[in-house]
Amino acid sequence: MFLSRSPQQQKDFREPLPYAGAKAIMLGWGGCDMVGEMTQPKSCIRNRWRIRTLFFATTAIIGLVAVQSHAAKDPVYKKNRGKVIFQADPFPAFDSAEAYAEAVSKAARNKRLERKDDGSWTFNFVAFLKHAPKAAKVNLVFYRLREKKPVDFIEYVVQPSQVTLQSRANLNPDSGFKVGDKLDVRITRLIGRREVVYASCKLVLM
């Protein structure tokens, strides 16, 4: 469901990184599905980073793969630590470590994201975090290159010890995305007034 912005929301949208609520579907161990709702924090961060109750048009169907800290020893993780690997098509189910490594290696070469027939983009990704966030939430934030204010963001519920995040997001023109956008995509968390970046990539919307 896409929600339009009011004039006040459009004004607020120009301010740095507001945080909104979103629906999440979390995939737990043992194939147990847990459906929850991600809520915005009640506290506000002063000065540059402020939290507002906004709903952006970007929607996300979120599948979280919670991999504990021992995954840091995995060769694929070591090679891609700090990177967000993406592609337009969903990542397949991996039946072996070799298939997983091959799929990630192929996707790591992508620099562009092709637009779908409906005018939106699907951002399927695997993020290899530099280190565990030690928090229950992180954010997927989309910046245009050389701009400090985000185009949009999505908040994810995570396990504090996990070091990879696999999910997908739909990028829609109604959220401010357009053909030709050169984006800096980051997995981040705010600690005090500082943005901590766990993984990132750059891409062009085609």
Report the share of the chain in percent with pLDDT over 70.
65
The ranges of the chain with pLDDT < 50 are: 1-69
Question: Which domains are delineated in the chain?
Answer: 7-205 (2.60.40.2840)
Tell me how far apart the alpha carbons of residues 189 and 142 are, in angstroms, rounded to a whole number.
Answer: 13
Cβ contacts of 172 within 8 Å, gap of 6 or more? 2, 57, 58, 59, 119, 120
pLDDT at residue 188, rounded to an integer:
97
For residue 196, the cross-strand partners are 189
For residue 137, the cross-strand partners are 157
Radius of gyration of the chain (CA): 16
Tell me how far apart the alpha carbons of residues 170 and 159 are, in angstroms, rounded to a whole number.
Answer: 23
Q: What is the pLDDT of residues 129-170, one digit of tens each?
A: 999 999 999 999 999 999 989 999 999 999 999 999 999 999
Tell me how far apart the alpha carbons of residues 40 and 52 are, in angstroms, rounded to a whole number.
Answer: 8
**Amino acid, res. 25:** I
Element containing residue 205 per DSSP (H, E): strand 194-205
Q: Is there a contact between 183 and 202 (Cβ–Cβ < 8 Å)?
A: yes
